[in-house]
Chain A
């Protein structure tokens, strides 16, 4: 009888990379449902078409690099990338926008750097920013939420996919756009006169954010990531907003609650900056990483000229992540607390 000689440990925990990816996909569900309810089926169409494209590009990239494509397709990571990008894209995007976005994410954001685990930037955000810079018009036209109009149906969605833009009445500026363009209204009046603002942070948007918050908390509970980066980001954003609130005056940057529940805040906090590959690695590093992203988001939202700031903030801090890592090596067991790491 001969026995296998394998090194310890001989057992393994329940989590696999594939499973982690599946959990992340599952956790987007509440947010996606909310987004679909308020803005119609555009996001779902994005996700399905984008997913198919992503699998195709992944297969192509992995084959070109001379690897076995099956394992890469089975780890679900490319579906996570495409799904996250497609959630962030405006619903009812034309097909070519999806093609360019997914290609940028998968080829430029991921495989150019060596594939899964080697990408310094969040691939979904790379795709998003490429589109934002190349097609600013298409990227800033959001559908109007249910409550302002009746959202488009599936036929509208498919014809939008084929290239017919939504009718004018079906799009609307987001609360963040309105806030940025606000000249002279007190916050109170802005809420009172602009139907888009809804109860807290914008009709539809507030619920979409709550949906992603729920999904994110579930992932936390599943121990897929730690609380450090999301909590720090929300704290950083909240603190910046508090400082810039200015009592709700006409130059107010908006309340913390407005910032927490609008745009891609919760989606970013729990699904984008928690991407482990491109974030800082230690818990202390993640606190810093998250907090800085929160602050940069606020700055871009209030000072910048883009519909949302999450993608830029994330990419900027992806740059800084290796540096943050250098300065946040944790104190190992048995080392003096004050000793240089």
Chain B
């Protein structure tokens, strides 16, 4: 048995997991239209590869990745591209973003997928290429392009793969449902991932409030371990506490080590992946199937029928709300993600994207709007709750004072924005909001400084070049003049004094030009 370690802080909000009936997947069906944002991940938006009016097939690439950190977008079904324009998307900023709209033709015809039999016949890089082609981005919430993350093997020695089935946010049961219903596929995907990154150990980490998921995974692992696994597979359960599923927190729970500040799990030889991502990688590698659907938890007491849906990417949230019998009378918030870290949507026209694990639709009583913030009474409850071992209260004062130096000294950038501090604060201070804003401002200030430094460097370089050119010209002129005078004095009676002066002048000019040349090229 692997020893599990404790982490600092954390909270125990009501779990509310039973509400959405975990363990059963409901097919969300095919809406009339799918709206696919070109940016469903962290990094550069994909570039549209189709035009309005094109007929597309399921699995066809609609937009391809641009640069190293990006992910392609594929058609989840067949139909006609009816628009490429900015639409509401799930994003905290609430700003519309470029989307491809497909009017589904209902035939659900697909391109031919290129399956392979034995992934071990391929090099890890060939498999990463398949993952990249499938447009997979981390499905746990952040949406980092998976292929990029897998390339960690080139720069770090990876020995452990962690499948993060913690799902510590209240309400959400999408991963739980996947683990209960597709444990074999998760284990298979995990083995492929382990092969790609070169890990010898695979740990499936799950909170102890999901006994069915734990059991399903254990069975799948046992079935594999009987002879055919290349890796050491461990299913580990640990006490339920928010935010145990934070990547850094989970690593400490499972290994007792802390990811260095500003570093990556890979610095410890660890790569973390979400179970949904593992299944998607398995599909991509073995079947050549791109990522076009996912499990989404629809939950909250404003729904008549909360459920876990298998929904195609691009499915408008309104479609799922209708399926779940949404009752708007007592609801005022539509939340993308969970109650702790999710963000409120302004419209249900926004679609399901690769990172949509949950749509939470609470009633007013269920998650009341917070009352006005009161003065900080410096009770320190926030510091007790902070999993990053920060002093949220100090950060709050410094954020209000806009004291960037103290903010960095108090490690603002180690804040994982989990919201535990705000949750416990008896004065209802929206602490995380201050940290997000402060991080943004500091980042901007740094970028501004970088930009102005670059501009200054460029300016100085130009000044120098101009000066150097002028000096060279002057030197040449002086040399020419000296030569001319020499000639003249040769032809007439040479005046030795004049000649000496001219020579000295020429030497001096030459020297100035030389010293200028000694200063390094920028």
A334 touches B248 (CB 8 A): yes
A334 partner, pick from B92, B260, B337, B340, beta carbons under 8 A = B260
Interface pair A335/B411, CB less than 8 Å apart: yes
| Inter-subunit contact B389/A333 (CB<8 Å) | yes
Complex-state Cα separation, A9 to B369, whole angstroms: 10
Return chain A residues, CB-CB under 8 Å to B13: 11, 13
Within 8 A of B (CB), among A22-76: 71, 75
Q: Which residues of A215-235 have CB atoms within 8 Å of chain B's CB atoms?
A: 223-226
Chain B residues 387-425 with CB under 8 Å of chain A are 387-391, 393-394, 409-411, 414, 419, 422-425
Compute how far the CA of A331 lies from the CA of B414 in the bound complex, rounded to whole angstroms. Answer: 11
Chain A residue numbers with a CB within 8 Å of B370 are 6, 12
**Chain A at the B interface: mostly helix, strand, loop or mixed?**
loop
Does the CB pair B343–A281 fall under 8 Å? no
A3 to B206, CA, bound (A): 34
Contact B339 A11, beta carbon cutoff 8 Å: yes
Contact of A11 among B170, B344, B410, B427 (CB under 8 A): B170
Does B261 lie within 8 Å of A277, measured CB to CB? no
B258-A333 in contact (CB<8A): yes
B335 lies within 8 A of A10 (CB) = yes
| Residues of B contacting A77 in the complex (Cβ-Cβ under 8 angstroms) | 377
CB atoms of B367 and A10 under 8 A apart: yes
> What chain B residues lie within 8 Å of A223 (beta carbons)?
381, 384
The CA-CA distance from A277 to B341 in the complex, in Å, is: 29
B8 close to chain A: CB less than 8 A: yes
Contacts of B345 in A (CB 8 A): 3, 5
**Interface residue count on the B side (C-beta < 8 Å):** 71
Is A20 within 8 A of B388, CB to CB?
no
The reply to whether A8 and B339 contact each other, CB–CB distance below 8 Å, is yes
Question: 8 Å CB contacts to B: which residues of A321-341?
Answer: 325, 329-336, 341
Pairwise interchain contact B344-A277, C-beta atoms closer than 8 A: no
The answer for the CA separation of A100 and B125 in the assembled complex, in Å, is 79
CB distance from A76 to the nearest CB of B (A): 11
Quick check: A71 and B258 within 8 Å, CB to CB? no
- Give A16 to B391 CA distance when docked, in angstroms: 19
- State whether the Cβ of B383 lies closer than 8 Å to any Cβ in chain A: yes
Q: Mark A266-281, 1 if CB is under 8 A from B, else 0.
A: 0000000000110101
Q: Is the CB of B248 within 8 A of A276?
A: no
Contact of B261 among A71, A75, A282, A333 (CB under 8 A): A333
* Known contacts A4-B333, A115-B375; is-contact A332 B389 (Cβ 8 Å): yes
**Whole-angstrom distance from the CB of B255 to the nearest CB of chain A?**
13
A299 an interface residue at 8 Å Cβ cutoff? no
Contacts of A2 in B (CB 8 A): 346-347
Tell me the B239-274 residues at the A interface (CB within 8 Å).
Answer: 248, 252, 258-263
Binds A, one of B210-218, B428-436, B477-485: B428-436
Taking a contact as CB atoms under 8 Å apart, the answer to whether B384 and A226 are in contact is yes
Is there an interface contact between B377 and A20, defined as CB atoms closer than 8 Å? yes
Q: Which residue of chain A has its CB nearest to the CB of B318?
A: A1
What's the least CB distance linking A52 to chain B, in Å?
A: 23
Measured CA separation A116–B429 after assembly (Å): 14
B377 touches A9 (CB 8 A): no
Contacts of B105 in A (CB 8 A): none
Whether B339 pairs with A7 at a CB distance below 8 angstroms is no
> Could you say which of A1, A5, A19 contacts B348, with CB atoms under 8 Å apart?
A1
Q: Which chain A residue has the least Cβ–Cβ distance from B388? A: A333
Decide: A13 and B389 in contact? CB cutoff 8 A: no
A49–B267 Cα distance when bound, in Å, is 64
* Residues 343-362 (chain B) with a chain A CB within 8 angstroms: 343-348, 360, 362
Contacting residues, chain B, for A117 (C-beta < 8 A) = 375-378
B43 within 8 A of A: no
Q: How far is the CA of A336 from the CA of B411 in the complex (A)?
A: 13
Contact B375 A4 (CB under 8 A): no
B344 with A4: CB separation less than 8 A: yes
What separation, in Å, do the CA atoms of A24 and B332 have in the docked complex? 35
Contacts of B377 in A (CB 8 A): 17, 20, 77, 116-117, 276-277
> Within the assembled complex, what's the spacing in Å between the Cα atoms of A279 and B379?
9
Chain A contacts for B261, CB-based, 8 A: 332-335
> In chain A, what residue has the closest Cβ to B332?
A4
Contact call B419/A4, Cβ cutoff below 8 A: no
Contact with B along A247-281 (1 / 0, CB 8 A): 00000000000000000000000000000110101
Across the interface, do B341 and A8 meet the contact criterion of CB distance under 8 Å? Answer: yes
Indicate if A133 sits at the interface (CB-CB under 8 A). no
Q: Give the chain A neighbours of B409 by CB distance below 8 A.
A: 329, 341
Q: Given the known A-B contacts A16-B426, A333-B414, are A282 and B383 also in contact in the complex, defined by CB atoms under 8 Å?
A: yes
A9-B341, A11-B367 in contact; A331/B374 too (CB < 8 A)? no
Least CB separation from A10: chain B residue: B339
Distance from A340 Cβ to chain B, minimum over Cβ atoms (Å): 10
Contact A12 B428 (CB under 8 A): yes
Quick one: given A9-B341, A9-B419, A15-B381, are A332 and B376 in contact (CB under 8 Å)? Answer: no
B321's nearest neighbour on chain A, judged by CB, is A1
* Chain A residues, CB < 8 A from B6: none
Known A281-B391, A332-B390, A334-B261; contact A3-B346, beta-carbon cutoff 8 A: yes
Q: Closest approach, in angstroms, between the C-beta of A177 and any C-beta of chain B? A: 35
Given contacts A4-B344, A115-B375, contact A16 B428 (CB under 8 A): yes
| Residue in contact with B380 in the complex, picked from A8, A281, A332, CB distance below 8 Å | A281
| Interface residue? B94 (CB, 8 A) | yes
CA distance A223 to B335 in the complex (A): 31
Contact residues in A for B323 (Cβ distance below 8 Å): none
When chains A and B are docked, how far (Å) is the Cα of A86 from the Cα of B334? 50
User: CB < 8 Å: which of A5, A6, A15, A286 contacts B426?
Assistant: A15
With contact pairs A1-B348, A3-B345, A226-B380 given, residues A10 and B333 touching in the complex (Cβ less than 8 Å): yes
Q: Which residues of B contact A8 (CB under 8 A)?
A: 335, 337, 339-343, 419, 422, 432
Across the interface, do A3 and B393 meet the contact criterion of CB distance under 8 Å? no
* Residue B328 is within 8 A (CB to CB) of chain A in the complex: yes
Is the Cβ of A7 less than 8 Å from the Cβ of B389? no
A330-B391, A333-B8, A334-B248 in contact; A281/B383 too (CB < 8 A)? Answer: yes
Which residue from A5, A13, A18 sits with its C-beta under 8 Å from B344? A5
Taking the closest CB of chain B, its distance from the CB of A182, in whole angstroms, is 40
* B436:A7 contact, CB within 8 angstroms: yes
B11, A13: Cβ atoms closer than 8 Å: yes
In the complex, what's the smallest C-beta–C-beta distance from B412 to chain A, in angstroms? Answer: 10
* CA A281 to CA B391, docked complex, whole Å: 8
| CB of A314, distance to nearest CB on chain B (Å) | 15
CB distance from A114 to the nearest CB of B (A): 9
* Assembled-state Cα–Cα distance A11/B422 (Å): 9
- Min CB distance B8 to A, Å, is 7
Known: A11-B367, A332-B388, A334-B248. 6 other contacts (CB 8 A): A6-B333, A9-B423, A16-B427, A281-B393, A286-B380, A330-B383
Q: Give B contacts to A, CB under 8 Å.
A: 8, 11, 13-14, 92, 94, 170, 248, 252, 258-263, 328, 332-335, 337, 339-348, 360, 362, 367-370, 372, 374-381, 383-384, 387-391, 393-394, 409-411, 414, 419, 422-428, 430, 432-433, 436
- Name A residues whose Cβ lies closer than 8 Å to a Cβ of B: 1-13, 15-20, 71, 75, 77, 115-118, 223-226, 276-277, 279, 281-283, 286, 325, 329-336, 341
Top 10 closest pairs, chain A to chain B, by CB: A9-B419, A117-B375, A334-B261, A332-B411, A276-B378, A10-B339, A276-B379, A3-B334, A15-B426, A116-B375
The 20 sampled A-B contact pairs (Cβ below 8 Å) are A3-B347, A9-B419, A10-B342, A11-B13, A12-B423, A13-B424, A16-B426, A17-B375, A17-B377, A20-B379, A75-B374, A223-B381, A224-B379, A225-B380, A276-B377, A276-B378, A330-B391, A333-B258, A334-B260, A341-B409
